[in-house]
Structure 1
Amino acid sequence: MYFEEIDIDQTHIHLTSDLDGADLKHYIYRIRQDLKRYISMNLDFLLSIEPLKYKSDGLSPIVLKMYESSAKADVGPMACVAGTISEMSLNYLIDKGSDYSIVENGGDIAIINDKTVLCGIYSNNKILGNSIAFKIKPRKKPLGICTSSGKIGHSISFGQSDSVSVISKSPSVADGLATRIANEVTGEDSESKISNALEIAEEYREFFNGVLIISDENVGTVGKLPKIVESPEFNVKINHEK
């Protein structure tokens, strides 16, 4: 098993894979260059917090994927960037023959696993702490696990969630939806914050498997989530079950 950290500008990936990740680093560099070139000619793509109209002709795969996912999630394209890079990186490894790869990019995870994996839920919640995890059963198809927070990290969020985690077949879409739903964790108290966010999440059920929302002393869920188990506090977001 290979463990590698890939740092390219704002992309910070923790990779666990049954394949050597050396070629992946070059691939990530190439798609990031495609993205940077597009942004240099289309500043709205970088700055918009709403979906943008686009024509697919001539777009690089990363730009097209970000447009498509942001349109589904009703967010700006850059809200999907980390999940898109995770998704494309995982697909690259799968095309190379990987049966077990975890690409974690700033908390946005793309995974395919032929053995059980524990994925830590990092929320810093005052009651739950960081001691619970999703138990991901072996699977043959990719899965996205993406998280947004109004209290942790540098991403823009207009809500006050400890964490909003979205499980989807597409990590790119999961990333956008985590931002969209987290923006709605607002209200006078913890219960109303959860209620408002759950109402919005229901509008996007066709695009995700499940959503977990943690805010203060309340937790809300929509759809079907992996089993949630107690786990020692995570220093990193991924551990392997022994």
Structure 2
Amino acid sequence: MSERHLSSDRAYRDMVRPRNGEVRFQVAVEQTDLLVVAESDLRHQMAAHVARLRGELKNWMLFHPEFAASLAPVEVPDSAPEIVRAMAGAAALCGVGPMAAVAGAVAQAVAEAFVGQSPNVLVENGGDSFLCSTRERVVALLAEPQSGARLGLRLAPDAFPVSLCASSGTIGHSLSLGSGDLVAVRARDARLADAAATALGNLLRGPGDIRRVLDRAAELAGSGLDGVFVQYDEKIAAWGNLELVALE
């Protein structure tokens, strides 16, 4: 999923409330805009790490423009930077272009780089998150049924690390070929979750496609997909390891 979003689309960040001594801060480097919750303020170190990741990606795309432009999987050599190889691998599993995994890839790379300094570190990148935690968390789902009900996903302490990535045809500015309100994917790997969210979101063009999305999610289970939440207007469905809870 693209990292480009308008700030007005990020009002959901107001719902993120640190606790038990954690701090919340923003890391913004060019188009990358991360919301981070950690045990200490690591914004400067994280910004430097994001700049290095962006440098690797931009340098690769300068000499391999198809990596940025393709909507289908692209092969890359073993000599490519780790983030490039990870994005390409996840995209190949899901049948999408490698940039469909960029936001999840950056979120995971940042969290993994700093989890040693902060065992509780939650990194959100435009609706795509990678979470490391020693305690239970509840993550709100962005789209709400028109009934006004609000749902969240409960994550037990043994669930981490875990990624939650979203794709929407009605929210945000990421490229989606579908028109559904929300496809949210749970997986251990954020690159896979991000690419899968895009692939599944592309299938969701009407309420009748919900079953098709769930069937495709089940096919991706062997690749590491753990769960999927789908919403189209007032119709919602879920598959896999998802404990949905009502939010106050």
TM-score between the two structures when normalised by the length of structure 1: 0.88
Matches of 2:64 and 2:105, distance apart in 1:
18
Shift of 1:128: 4.6
1:109 aligned residue (105, 108, 129): 129
State the Cα RMSD in Å: 1.5
* Paired letter, 1:53: E
Q: 2:217–2:225: 8 Å Cα contact kept in structure 1?
A: no
- 1:85 is matched with 106
Shift of 1:90: 0.9
Number of equivalent positions: 225
Q: Percent identity?
A: 27
Q: 1:193–1:215: 8 Å Cα contact kept in structure 2?
A: no
Gaps of 5+ in 1: 233-242
Shift of 1:125: 3.3
Matches of 1:200 and 1:73, distance apart in 2:
10
Matches of 1:82 and 1:23, distance apart in 2:
19
* Paired letter, 1:174: A
Cα separation, partners in 2 of 1:196 and 1:128, compared to 1, 3 Å: farther
Q: 2:34–2:126: 8 Å Cα contact kept in structure 1?
A: yes
* 1:146-189 Cα shifts (integer Å, max 9, x gaps): 000011011111112110010000011100000000111124xx
Q: How does 1:126-205 map to 2 (within 5 A)?
A: 126-128=146-148, 131-139=150-158, 141-187=160-206, 190=207, 192-205=208-221
Q: Which moved more, 1:76-85 or 1:21-30?
A: 21-30
Q: 1:134–1:229: 8 Å Cα contact kept in structure 2?
A: yes
1:4 aligned residue (25, 28, 36): 25
* 1:66-114 Cα shifts (integer Å, max 9, x gaps): 11111112110000000000011111012x3422110000010000111
- 1:235 is matched with none
Cα separation, partners in 2 of 1:141 and 1:124, compared to 1, 3 Å: closer
Gaps of 5+ in 2: 1-21
- 2:71 is matched with 49
- 2:38 is matched with 17
- Structure with bigger helix share is 2
Matches of 1:128 and 1:89, distance apart in 2:
34
- Give the secondary-structure state (helix, strand or coil) at the position aligned to 1:3: strand
Matches of 2:199 and 2:239, distance apart in 1:
15
- Give the secondary-structure state (helix, strand or coil) at the position aligned to 2:122: strand
Matches of 2:111 and 2:60, distance apart in 1:
23
- Give the secondary-structure state (helix, strand or coil) at the position aligned to 1:183: helix
Matches of 1:73 and 1:127, distance apart in 2:
33
- 1:239 is matched with none
Matches of 1:222 and 1:128, distance apart in 2:
22
* Paired letter, 1:98: S
- Give the secondary-structure state (helix, strand or coil) at the position aligned to 2:35: strand
* 1:22-75 Cα shifts (integer Å, max 9, x gaps): 311111111111101111111111110110122112x11111111111111211
Shift of 1:140: 7.0
Q: 1:51–1:74: 8 Å Cα contact kept in structure 2?
A: yes
Q: 1:125–1:162: 8 Å Cα contact kept in structure 2?
A: no
- 2:60 is matched with 38
- 1:223 is matched with 240
- Give the secondary-structure state (helix, strand or coil) at the position aligned to 2:158: coil
Matches of 1:29 and 1:10, distance apart in 2:
11
Q: 1:186–1:197: 8 Å Cα contact kept in structure 2?
A: no
